[in-house]
A = this chain, B = another copy of it.
Amino acid sequence: MVGQKIQRQTGVALWRQIADRIRTSISHGDFDETGMVPPETTLALQFGVNRHTIRSALGALAQEGIVRAVQGRGTLIERKERLSFPISKRTRFSQGIGDQVRETRSVLLASSEEPANAELSGQLKVDVGTKLVRLETLGQADHRPVSRATSWFPADRFGDIAEIYRTTGSITKAFRELGVPDYVRVVTEITATHADESDLSDLQLSPGAIVLVAQALNADLDDVPVQYSISRFAADRVRFTVEN
C-alpha cells in the first residue's frame, strides 16, 4: 500500500487513482487480517490527501460492491477476487478456473454472420470475404462476469455453432458436435488497455478500469485454424499464468 505517491494534474482524478490503488491492495490481500480497509483519516494521511477525497474513492469502491462502509465500525471488505487463468496448449475457459470457483458459466450474448476482413482472413487462413460466424460471449464465475469475448469461426464448418453453444454453453462441446474432437491453442497475444463502454456494462466495471485483452487462435489437430477470439478480462479480477 505504501510507496508510490499520488499524482496531481495528470488527467486522472486523485479519488480515482486512490480507488485503483485500494482495489489492488484488497485483491492483494493487504487487509486480510482485519477484513477492513484502514480508517479514512489514516488513508488520508497515507495518501497525503484530504479525507473528502478518500471518501470519494471509497464511495466508488462501494459502488462496485467491493467494500461496504458501516457507520461507527469502518469500511468492510465485501469481495476480493483475482482468478488465475492458465494459458497453455489446452487452454479452455471453464476447465482452467474450475478449481478456483464453484460454478463457471458461459452465456451467448449475440451471434451473426459476417465476411472475413483482412485481419480475420490472415488469422484464420481463409480468403477475404469468406463467411464467418461471430459469437459474442460472456464468461462468468460464480455468477460474476469475468470475461467478454468475440469469437470468429469459419461458417462452412461451424455454421450452426451459435445454436449449439447457446444450448451447451461450451465451445469445447460445440466443437465436438461439429466434428472437432479436440483443439489446441496456437498463439495468444496479451495487451492491456482502458475499459471501453461495453466493457463497463458487460463486465460491471467502473469507468477508467483496466482490461487485459487476449487475442487467441485455436486450431484443430491438423493445425487448421478453427477459432479466432478476442477476450477482454477485468484486470483486477484475473491474472494470466503461462506455464512452460
Contact yes or no, A16 B20, CB < 8 A:
no
Contact yes or no, B12 A208, CB < 8 A:
yes
Stretch of A122-130, A160-168, A170-178, A192-200 contacting B (4+ beta carbons < 8 Å): A192-200
Kindly report how many copies of this chain are found in the complex they form together: 2
In the complex, what's the smallest C-beta–C-beta distance from A202 to chain B, in angstroms?
12
Residues of B within 8 A of A87 (CB): 242
| Contact flags A199-212 to B (C-beta < 8 A → 1, else 0) | 01000001110111
Q: A241 in the interface, Cβ–Cβ < 8 Å? A: yes
Using A5-B197, A20-B193, A235-B192 as known contacts, say yes or no to A206 and B242 having CB atoms under 8 A apart.
no
A95 CA to B212 CA in the complex, in Å? Answer: 25
Q: A108 in the interface, Cβ–Cβ < 8 Å? A: no
- For the residues of A in contact with B, the DSSP-based class is mixed
A187 CA to B4 CA in the complex, in Å? Answer: 26
A207 CA to B10 CA in the complex, in Å? Answer: 6
Residues of B within 8 A of A189 (CB): 84, 239-242
Q: Which residue of the partner chain B has the closest CB to A193? A: B24
In the complex, what's the smallest C-beta–C-beta distance from A157 to chain B, in angstroms?
22
Contact yes or no, B89 A239, CB < 8 A:
no
Report A17-74 residues with CB < 8 Å from chain B CB. 17, 19-21, 24, 60
Residues of B within 8 A of A109 (CB): none
Residues of B within 8 A of A244 (CB): 88-89, 184-188
Q: A221 in the interface, Cβ–Cβ < 8 Å? A: no
Residue from B24, B60, B188, B238 in contact with A242 in the complex, judged by beta carbons closer than 8 Å = B188
